[in-house]
Structure 1
Amino acid sequence: MTISPAEIVMYYDILLYICDFVQRIDLMFFLRENMNDIIKLLTNRMTKYEVVTQSSNVKKERELEKEEDSEENPEKDPEEKSKGKQCKADEAPNPGSD
């Protein structure tokens, strides 16, 4: 027995679709035994996807903030600033060399 794409669109909830499909092929025992595992699997997949998308959105926001800061302050990059400080420290007179 095949399920048409129109029937798939009808079911707005994946769990209802799974229950209906399992009932159609007479696997109620499987459903009773494993429904909790199926729900856990689906929720784990959804939460992992949400976490990944949220972390990528945060990374993009941070990159945009850094770009905006560099555009607002056209001074030296932080790496160049640290190199300049190191050069100044190297050029400082050594008091023990007198």
Structure 2
Amino acid sequence: SLPQMGAPSKISPGGVSLVIGKVRNQPRTPREELINDRKRAGTTVSKITVGRTLHHHGLKSCITWKVPLLKSSHVQARLKFANDHLDDLEGAWEKIM
């Protein structure tokens, strides 16, 4: 048989199964934590390597959106605005949009 194309895998098959198992059990596991697990096992890998490994096994990564939290003053201001404009006619809003 012919030799395998490309560079050898940095993560062993056992390491791959551990990484995939951890992500399946805890889907919100960050890549940094997976990298630290591999580092403790004696293998140094990058974020890209971990991401490619997960993608190769059908797992997609996602980034959670950072939504700013509303302060109580913002909630009060929104409520005041809504109450002030509760009786406005619909025609007034057509000019705004």
Given the two structures, how large is their TM-score scaled by the length of structure 2? 0.28
Q: Which structure has greater helix proportion? A: 1
Where relative contact order (Cα < 8 A, 6+ residues apart) is larger, the structure is 2
Given the two structures, how large is their TM-score scaled by the length of structure 1? 0.28
